[in-house]
Amino acid sequence: MKLSFEFDATALARGLERLPGALDTELERCLRKAGRLIAGEARRSHDYTDRTGRLTRSILPVAPTGRFTEDTLEGGAGAIAPYAGYVEEGTERMHIHGGYRFLRLAAATKYREIEAVFHDHVEAAVRRAGF
């Protein structure tokens, strides 16, 4: 009995060529979802008193910019009310030391869900590349 093995690296090479573009696309989608998750959680679960509702309404996902393959991909969630940073980080006059950290707490609360979204999108990139 004689066994032989033949390997054609063409499909592998094509997949490796497509992988960076697929990662750029899928990880941008991942950041969009992560931003929506964080913003939604921050709007729902904050513990600051929002008398006018302005700060809570200003919490939004941040549209991703940049590219993963260029190490410039950024995104997430933020609040655009002019005083949002003071509420998040705190001031020396606030009764709560270190601010309310409503965005950081929301990101921490959603960490496992965001991690699962990340894994799903990496797998989608690998499939998209043809592996």
pLDDT tens-digit readout, 38-61:
999 999 999 999 999 999 999 999
Residue 96 pLDDT grade (very low, low, confident, very high; cuts 50, 70, 90): confident
pLDDT the model gives residue 45 = 97
The Cβ-side half-sphere exposure at 117, using a 13 Å CA radius, reads 18
| Whether pLDDT at 93 is above 90 | no
| 57-79 confidence digits (pLDDT tens) | 999 999 999 999 999 999 999 99
In the chain, where the domains are located: 18-129
User: In the structure, how many helices (H) and strands (E) does the chain have?
Assistant: 5, 2
| Whether pLDDT at 5 is above 90 | no
* Cβ proximity of 34 and 75 under 8 Å: yes
Q: How much is the pTM? A: 0.90
